[in-house]
Amino acid sequence: MIVPLAAGGNTDMMARLGAERLAARFGQPFIVENRPSAGGAIAAGIVANAAPDGYTILFAPSATLLLTPLLQKVNYDADKQLLPVTNDAVRSVMTCSPDYLVMGMSAVTFYGGAAGADAFQAKVERETGVLRDKLVELNRNGKDIDAIVQVGTNLSMVRLAAAAELWLGKPVIAINTATYWHALRNNRITDRIQGLGRLLEDF
């Protein structure tokens, strides 16, 4: 199982949990190998060009297959060389029927297929300049900013955002925290969790 991100991150931890369940189900080891770099193109290339015998699996976020080929030249054709097995993988490791499904922000890149991915890339490119200007403004005059919400990364920013709240004296919310908080509260789970920011501590 090839993971295009460094060990210790969210994707890596999910891959290792999945590998354990798959190993137990099929009675043979599933080895996780981290191959970070080039936006996931190296890992995807290894899997796409491996022998098509079902023994090499790519465990990657959607951006690896949808955005990376649009932003740089890659040595594979994901549509022709890779077979999606997400649903089969989920069915293999699930131990109960989910009552509530939480979709990550990156799911937006699935909408509209290749054309949707092109439109999403164009939107990101348009917003890049706006984001840069806003960060400069924030650095220059933070009194005008009520809160900061972090989105769009495969790295968990939960603890960093919580620490930033102490530095800046204002709410700093990581998308991981917001997604988790929303899932809990929508299912009427009102537990307060300390040390992960005001959203989980106070609301």
**How many other C-beta atoms can be found within 10 angstroms of the C-beta atom of residue 130?**
9
Structure tokens at 38: 């080039």
Whether 35 is in a domain gets the answer: yes
Q: Which domain holds residue 11?
A: 2-93
User: pTM above 0.85?
Assistant: no
Contacts of 1 (CB under 8 A, 6+ apart): 15, 18, 19, 30, 31, 32, 33, 57, 58, 59
Tell me whether residue 104 is in a domain. Answer: no
Is 99 part of a structural domain of the chain?
no
Does residue 106 sit within a domain? no
Q: What SS3 state is found at 164?
A: helix
Please indicate, yes or no, whether residues 12 and 78 belong to a single structural domain of this protein: yes
pLDDT in tens, the chain (203 residues): 999 999 988 888 888 988 888 888 889 999 999 999 888 899 999 999 999 888 899 998 877 877 777 778 888 888 788 877 765 555 555 555 556 655 554 555 455 666 766 676 666 555 545 544 554 566 556 566 777 777 665 556 788 888 888 877 788 888 778 888 888 888 888 999 888 889 999 99
Residues 119 and 73 in one domain: no
